Structures are given as C-alpha cells and as structure tokens.
Structure 1
C-alpha cells in the first residue's frame, strides 16, 4: 500500500504548474477475437467437461469462502432474505445422490443463481473453461433516455459494425421490442437474472449486458438470435434479426491482487473490454461528439453552457495496471495523481464537473487520494472491517502484510462474540492528506448506477467531506462497498483449507466491508450506495450529442456557487519573507512557514503582498484562506 512519505509535495506543485499533456488514445492490446461462423448453438453443443468430483470441489470451496470469509454475509441475509449457504448445502446433497448428474450448464446456472442472490458484484462465481474464454455480443449499444411522454425510451447510441445490420439501423433509432417483448420489460427481466445491490444498479446492469455478455460471469443467452423492432430516423417501424456473435478471449484477464487493496467491478471491466474490441478507443474518440482530450485515465474538456464555461473531467477508472515491482506501481500511482492535478488546475476556475459514470473502480487508494485536491478539509479515508471467523483469524496471523491490522480484534471476538472486527483504513491517512488542495473553485460530481466499488468509495468521500453537490443520472450508485480478492489470493495466503479450483473455474469475494465517515460515520457502503443530491434523467441530447443537457444542468448548479482563488508565491529576503497573494472570495489569509503559524492577514480580492518578518530560512509556505470564520481554501508554495 502506498504511503504519504514516498511522494514529494513540491513535485506535485510543479506538476500542477505544468500544462496537462494530451495523449493519443492507445491502441488496445487485443483481448478478444471473433470466431467466424461459430454460432452460439455450436459453441454450447460441446461446452463443459466438469466431472462430478470437480463439481463437488467447487461447491465445497464456495461454502468455505462465503461462510468464513465473505464480509457482507450478515447484511445480505438481513437485507435480501437469502440463504446462500443452505442453497450450497442442498446443491452438495444433490451431487451426492446416485444417478446421472444433471447437465453441466444446469450446475453453472445454480451456482450463478446462488452467488447472484447476494447481489454483490465483488462476490462472483467465475465459470470454467471454455466459458471463461468466451463472450456473446451484438454489435450495438442501447441506452435509456427520457421520452416525450415523461417515461423512458431506449435509443441505439452506437453501432460498431454497420455492415452486419440494416442501413436504417443507426445511432438515434428507438428500440421498441426485444424478441417480441416490449423493451422496458425485456430490460427488467434481464435485470432479475443478474446481480446489483439496489434497483438502480440492477437496471443499469441489465441494460449494459443486454448486448454484451462475458460467459465467465454470465450464462449464455437463452436465445440463439435476437429479433429487434425499432423506429428509424424517419419515424417508420422496422425490424431485423441477427445471431449472437461469439468471441474468444486471446489474453486471460488479470485477477485481482490481494497484496494491494482493490475495489473493482469485474463484470463491468469485461463488458468494457468487449465494447473496446468492437469499437476501439481511437475509433470511438474520433466519432464522439464530446471532443475530449485524453490524459492517462482521464478524459477532459471545457464545456460552454448558458451560465458559463466550466471544466469537465471523466475519470474512466482507478485501475492502474499490473506491475512487477512496488517502484513501478508507485510511479504509475504518482502519474495518476499528477495527471489529475495538472488537468484540474488548467481548467476554468468558475467550476469543475467530475464525472465517474461507468467507472468500474480499481485501486482504493487512488480514489481516496484524489479527494484532497478538491477541498481544504482534512480527508478521513473510509475504514474497513472483516467478518469475525476462525478462518479470517488464521488469515490475519499467517498473512500479516494484508490482514495483520485486524488480528487483535478477530482474536478478541472469540470472547466478545462480535460479528465484525475493528475497522482500519485501507488508504494511509498520511497519503490521503499528503498534498492538499489544488483546485479552489466549486465542484460537482456526476454519478450513475454503474460507477462501482472504488468509484463508490470516491463518491462517498465526496459526500462525507461535503465537497459539492452530486448529480445522479440514476437514483443511486452501484453500491459496491467492499475490498475484493480472488480465490487464488486466499490460496496463496493459506494452502489449506483452500484448494485449487478445477478447469479454470474461479471465485471472487468481498473480504472487507467499507464504512463511511463524516455525517454518515459507521454506515456500510454496500447496497446503500451514495444518493445524489440532484437528479437528472439523461435525454436524447445527452446520449447522442455529448451530454448536452447534463452539462447544462451541472453548469446551472455551479453558477450558483461561490468561486474561490488562492495563489501564492514567496521570495525570501533579509530575515523576512515576502508573500504575493492572488485571491478571490476570501477575506483573510493565515500563513504558515515550515509548519509554524506566522501571521493572520485581512485581504481583499485581487493581488496583495504580505511581508512576514523573522524568517531566515524557509522551504514551504502554506496559506489558509477564510471567509468569516470558515476555512474555504488552502494553497502551498515551495522554495528551493
């Protein structure tokens, strides 16, 4: 886990002064290939070779991790009225009965149903070969937008392979029926099959997986082809049918690593990789009406609205990649932070729109560390708890690097009967506050029900530290409040009782649950999510034309907020320090030199100069800006 002392605040200040460097969309490493001529029926005809003993082994390991390791089990039983442990025991009993076992696909269907019953995208059953290397997809994307009657309509937002669909089937057509079922009902039915911690999350997942399904986390579609009815751009009803395309994975997915606290959505990453294969990022960027610049994990631009021009940053993910050494990871982590600071400080001070829609998460520390750049407040990272169990106690003792902090309270629970351990942060507080505020203008955050895990944690921190309003295009976030590990991580930590799963099968689970801070201190993030303060249903203009109405809505909120500015430079003299200030929206500045308070000064908007006496040497000057008694801005400068 990175800590605050490995990073240089002076270097971060230099990064803030440098203009952000736009980067061309990278050519993605091919993950999938299209199997020409292979139909879904042909794939399923000989898919699956699990023996009865292999099925039993999978069930036993599932029972073990859900009962002994799964952090959210008490919450899920209470909130959703489910009993995954009993269902696994019943499945085990069925496998022990004499006679011919049921088809393998039925076994996978039951395993998926059991795991999906807890409605947690961190906690998944991953199908074995050949399912784990296969996807079924259609070459277009359907999105929901506000309809003219006050309800919803379902628009085609992109067509990835025009040659495979009718000429009239283009972005903007309105889908009315899916296999003869009204499209809204088809989405609802799809949502009932899949996981998601709240209704908004299930609905968004249903829509995302309607046309793209990775068979490592989902059953193959029931239908071999899809019949679509739609209204074309001329208002004429049309229809066509096409078979599912079958993709084969050529690069295996990287499993989550338990050595670094992660929170991400595997299903979301799978869907994104399928869409990236069909519509590569460089091609998508050319066709996008949004005119984003790309730098690292960030897409950014200035947006002109009727109330002014604002900055817009989309954080596409918090996953930083796979690294062979800690040093390589730290460099990638630092680049992530530098990129954000450089972008934010070069966008208009009138207001900043942070957008985490569709963000599947990643490194938890990457999300929590960004918060300090947007507020003068001290950041309190979320804390994490483990389920009290004998096996988790063994993990804490035998894998102290990952779980050692929780050992004492897990041991004490034998006497106290506590359900959960004590709570400790996964992000070092020193790191969460290592650099301080860099953007001083008002900020709003845009969320949807597909931002998940670390994106949930970022949104919760944004709300709990009262950084700004949250605009939700759905009624909640994805509500992924856990730290995910892979079954292989547990196997590395303890060779017994964990066992290798057969034929590439896998499991992931939430090993720790996250608790919110501030006014929501102690509230679990899982399933409850982060509620928006402002709602906005996407419109056709949003879906097809670069979020026009959404940006207008965000601009109207920012326009009503105070704009702050706090810039400073310092020049040493003979036993004094001359500090030049450029301020807006402040009436007082308190100055600290190398951590010691050196004076409080009344100021007016604009440029001013303050001479601080008695300073012989100095390396760092900190200014705290106040309006009345309220701390509203903080800035730093560094001297050679």
Structure 2
C-alpha cells in the first residue's frame, strides 16, 4: 500500500471527530500517555451503573449468547458485582472488568468504548497477514506491506510464512487472541485474531503488553527473524475535544446502521481483500469508488464482471442511499452488459446501511424479495426511546406496547426496509451471480449475503465456512442519551467522553431460511474455496479458477430474461396509451401487474434468441405522471424473472 493511501486511511480512523494534529511514534514512546485516566468514585459508579442498564435493558442477544457460549457469557451477574464494588476498584481494574464483560459476549456490535485518550488511539505494525490452506495445513502468510515505517520491516517479503511471535507459535497466539476478539464463531474469531496481529484499536482493545514483536518467518528453506516495533497512532485533536463539544449524532442514520467499527478502521489502513489487481479495474475515477469498484475478467468461457463492494456506508456526505444504489445499477447495466456472469466480492465488508444492503438484492432476484426482519426486547425503556425519538406513537412503540401487554419478551418481528422499497427497481441481471464472502463480512454484509442466498439471487462462495455473523442493528449510549433529553433521562453522561454500543435489534432471515437468526451462525457458504498460498501474491489464481468453473456450470440455469436497457423508464407523450416493446427470450408467458393487480397476460413462443414483444395496457394514459409496471416472466408455469418498468408521461 502506498504511503499516501496509508496516511489517508489512518487519518480516517477517527472520522467522527475533526481531525487535526496527529502523532505516529513507537508504542514505547507513547505508552506513558496511553493510560486510563483517574476516575472519581462517583464516575466509577456511573460507569458500572450505566453498563448494567445498557446490557440488562437493551441487549437483545443475551439468550442466544448463553445458549451458544454457556453461562459464562451471561453478563448480568458480573455487572451486578461490578456495580456493587465499583468504588473499590482501581481505575485500570474497573476499566478492564467492564471491558472484559463486553468482550466475553462474542458480539462485535456490543462494545465498551475506552475513555480518552485511549479511544483516540491505535497501535499497528506495517504488515498485513492472511490465513491460507497449504495442502491440509493452515498457515499464516504476509499478504501486504505498508509504506509507512517501511524501514521497520525491511527483509520481510509478501508470501513469507509467520511461524512465531515472541517465541510463541503463531497458532497459540491466534487462539489467545481469538478468545478476546469478539468473534461470534470459530471462523470469525480466527479472522479477527489475524487482523489483531496488525492492528489494535485502543477504543475497544488493550494496549499491547510488549513494545515490539520478535517475528520468525519461513521462506522456502530459509528461516528469518525480525524484531518489529509496535507503532502508536494518536489523534491529538480528538484527545482535546470533550463530550460537550462533540457534534450531535443522527438517530435516523444510526437507526438504519448495521456496521462493525473495527473492521472499518482496519480496511482504511490495510484495504479489503480483492480478486483482481487495482490496475485491472476501470480507469475512470468515481465518487462511488469508496463504496464499490468494477472490473472485467477475461476467462475461457467469456468475460466475467467483477464488483468489489467494499462497504454499505461512506464518508462522502454528498452521497445518499438512492444515489449509490442508482450508481450501482448503472454500472451493472452499462459496463457489464456483455458479461456471462458476475462476482460480487464482499470480503472484509464491515456493513453499513441496511436499506442499501437490502435494496440491491432485487437487481438479481427473479422473484419478489423478502427483506430481513428484526425483533427487540419489549420493555418500557425501549418504548420510551421510540416515543421520544418520534414525538408520537409509531409502529415500533406500538409493537413494544402490544408485546408487553401480552407478556412477551420480544416484539413481533418487523422489517426495517419496507417491502415496497426492496422491490421497487426489479431485476436487471439475468445471468449467474456469485457472492464471494469471508468471515470478515459482517453486519449489513451478513444481511446482504443472507438476502442473496435466501431469495435465490446468487450462489455464495466463501473462503471461510460462514460470514462474520453480526446479526443486529447497533446503537450507541450517547445516541440514547441525546434522544431521551434533559428530563427523566436514565442515560447519564459518561466520563472522559466514553461510550458504549449495543446490539439493539436482532436480525431474522427470510425466504428459504425464514426464522433463522444471523447472530453467531452467519451465512453458511454454499461452496467453500479456501485461500491457497498462490492466492496471496498477485491475482487470486486458484480462487478465480474455482469461481470461473462455478459460473460456467451455472450457465444452463439462466435461459430467460430481457435485453438490458439503461434505466427502467419508458417515456410516453402526455395522454398516450401505455404502449412499448421489450426484447425478451426464454419465456412462454408474461404477466403484467399494476401495483398488485394483474392486468393482462401475454402468451409467447419460447425462444432462446431475444425477440421484440409489444405491450399495451388499454385505457391506461396519463399526463405528467409516473406508473410502475411489473413484468413477471414465466416458463412452463414457473416464474423466471421479475422486471419493473416506470411508465413516464411527459410533454407532447
């Protein structure tokens, strides 16, 4: 990675603050400054009380964590004990005890955020690692070197196998880190542990005990030893801002966010995994590059489209969900129209806006998409949060009230993404789709992979057995405090700008996996293609070969569709009867729907070649209006595509 890209990435580590002066030194030089501040007795009690309130009243995953990880994962007894003795603990001991309770939940959405200056800092070494399967044996290889502090890693090469760290085998180190990683399943624990070899975000992770790492590598028949110091990044501007000066947080944005903060920070420094080199991608830069990038890959069977979907959120404040979805759609229609298949690479995707993640699924689905549902604890505090945030009764507060009256622990599951929005665009792609995942695909990325699988829109190929398993909408303590206002607010201001995050609403899958929770389980890969050593340096040759074979094998299943047009609009003159043509292949009937009402059926002779088909909706004519029409293609009575056209009446 270039020095410029690294500096941009690490500057964005704390993008929620105004970034000014920063410091990058060795950890040895910074260690004296990276300490827990001195709390008063009252502040210690506040932290303990708020942690208990936060988890006992808002944490939606308590039951599943006890089921999957045993009684030791139950946080409440531990938090009660901390409350009881909070004023007797030292500053460091209190911080580590509360932090430990959150970590043992194995929930990357639920975090105890350290006080400043720790929350404004990170430690790193300028190496990225990747776990690969060499024969039947797992090994950890260097997969990238950063340009910053490059002198500290001279002599280390991409592809070197990491054997030990400070005299301990790398596997032993990974097992230890996995236990404190927060990962929700074995695959996620290992992946996060490997990332922690390179980066520790001190907002949620401990300062490394050692100032440097003695790394031993294997390179063919050669053993190499190198001592690499930990480096400390400090955002000095962040350290100087107190909680009263921090900008208000958007409840609407947070209400729709499913995201892993650590993975987002890691990607900003080290980047997402990629299937093709940067040089192979489309040269034209776009404001959407921070969200996705596009390339084509030449194979023996034909051209395969490639989209690296880096995340479902963005830093550019000029972007919104509609703009990004439309940009994504146009790329598929314009740049990849001749491709025989499509790979959507979401490895390392930390999540983001759930509506974005769920709205793009319809572009690849032959049927109406069922959005993911969520449920949450039914209690007075949650009801009050929704009443305060909306100013009046709403569907969420009503659902909570109804559940409480029925003495139910959870509300009846509801969607965040309206079904109308999840299906307003319709299908634009009629060829094989592969979603490429790993155990770092988390949160809204889990939801996207689940939606593609549950709605039969794609084959999920994973380099791991499952995704990261982050099945919740995450909310922050400071947001709840902001919502509840100045009177009767149970959320107290935390000392030293501290914060907490909680899994607030639990995700439930739809479609063919209806009712299955995403948390802990994740999205299981239809096909597992583990990374091999040859996938590390340069292009992912073995992984790409496996994907090509799968796309080629799926071709026979995709024999129906429409010729792709740019956009969905059919422009008609004011007063003109609804009349247009489509180029269609592989169906024997098409049903036309206005809203949910079928208005006609067009019978066809099924042809493998596109043929011009006229459509007319008698009596439908408007002025300066828009009217969506849904076309359901059928073959032998089975639905094979679902396309939405926007009839648009304008001018003469």
Fold similarity call, TM over 0.5: yes
Matches within 5 A, 1:175-214: 175-214=162-201
Report if the CA contact (8 A) 1:591-1:598 is conserved.
yes
* Aligned residue number for residue 155 of structure 1: 141
Alpha-carbon distance in 2 for matches of 1:341, 1:458: 16
How far the C-alpha of 1:225 sits from its partner, in A, is: 0.9
How far the C-alpha of 1:290 sits from its partner, in A, is: 5.5
How far the C-alpha of 1:412 sits from its partner, in A, is: 3.3
Q: Which of 578, 588, 605 does residue 602 from structure 1 map onto?
A: 605
How far the C-alpha of 1:580 sits from its partner, in A, is: 4.2
Q: Which of 390, 402, 405 does residue 380 from structure 2 map onto?
A: 390
1:42 aligns with 2:31: yes
How far the C-alpha of 1:175 sits from its partner, in A, is: 1.2
* Aligned residue number for residue 497 of structure 2: 504
- With the length of structure 2 as denominator, give the TM-score of the two structures: 0.84
Alpha-carbon distance in 2 for matches of 1:286, 1:308: 16
Report if the CA contact (8 A) 1:626-1:632 is conserved.
yes
Matches within 5 A, 1:70-109: 70-81=59-70, 82-97=73-88, 101-102=89-90, 104-109=91-96
How many residue pairs match? The answer is: 600
Q: Secondary structure at the match of 2:140?
A: strand
Matches within 5 A, 1:230-379: 230-232=217-219, 235-249=221-235, 257-260=250-253, 261-275=256-270, 288=278, 291=281, 295=286, 296=288, 297-321=291-315, 323=317, 332-345=320-333, 346-347=335-336, 348-379=338-369
Report if the CA contact (8 A) 1:446-1:470 is conserved.
yes
* Aligned residue number for residue 628 of structure 1: 636
Alpha-carbon distance in 2 for matches of 1:523, 1:403: 30
1:120 aligns with 2:115: no
Deviates more, 1:611-620 or 1:478-487: 611-620
Q: Evaluate the alpha carbon distance shift between residue 578 and residue 288 of structure 1 in structure 2; reply closer, same or farther with a 3 A threshold.
A: closer
How far the C-alpha of 1:145 sits from its partner, in A, is: 1.2
Deviates more, 1:603-612 or 1:168-177: 603-612
How far the C-alpha of 1:434 sits from its partner, in A, is: 1.1
How far the C-alpha of 1:250 sits from its partner, in A, is: 5.3
Matches within 5 A, 1:437-586: 437-495=427-485, 496-561=489-554, 562-563=557-558, 564-567=560-563, 579-586=580-587
Q: Secondary structure at the match of 1:634?
A: strand
Report if the CA contact (8 A) 1:68-1:390 is conserved.
no
* Aligned residue number for residue 49 of structure 2: 60
Q: Evaluate the alpha carbon distance shift between residue 600 and residue 218 of structure 1 in structure 2; reply closer, same or farther with a 3 A threshold.
A: same
Q: Which has the higher contact order (CA 8 A, sep 6+)?
A: 1
Alpha-carbon distance in 1 for matches of 2:416, 2:119: 31
How far the C-alpha of 1:579 sits from its partner, in A, is: 4.8
Alpha-carbon distance in 1 for matches of 2:277, 2:523: 32
Q: Which of 193, 210, 225 does residue 223 from structure 1 map onto?
A: 210
Alpha-carbon distance in 2 for matches of 1:585, 1:560: 19
Q: Evaluate the alpha carbon distance shift between residue 256 and residue 403 of structure 1 in structure 2; reply closer, same or farther with a 3 A threshold.
A: farther
- 1:501-549 deviation line (CA, Å, top 9, x unaligned): 1001110111111111122222222112111110010112222223222
Report if the CA contact (8 A) 1:449-1:477 is conserved.
yes
Q: Secondary structure at the match of 1:30?
A: helix
How far the C-alpha of 1:383 sits from its partner, in A, is: 1.4
Alpha-carbon distance in 2 for matches of 1:248, 1:320: 23
Q: Evaluate the alpha carbon distance shift between residue 146 and residue 292 of structure 1 in structure 2; reply closer, same or farther with a 3 A threshold.
A: farther
Report if the CA contact (8 A) 1:228-1:241 is conserved.
yes
Report if the CA contact (8 A) 2:586-2:609 is conserved.
no
Q: Evaluate the alpha carbon distance shift between residue 521 and residue 245 of structure 1 in structure 2; reply closer, same or farther with a 3 A threshold.
A: same
Report if the CA contact (8 A) 1:515-1:524 is conserved.
yes
Q: Which runs of 5+ in 1 are unaligned?
A: 1-23
Let me know the Cα RMSD of the aligned residues: 3.2
Alpha-carbon distance in 2 for matches of 1:493, 1:613: 52
Alpha-carbon distance in 2 for matches of 1:29, 1:166: 19
Q: Secondary structure at the match of 1:484?
A: strand
Report if the CA contact (8 A) 2:341-2:433 is conserved.
yes
Q: Secondary structure at the match of 1:512?
A: strand
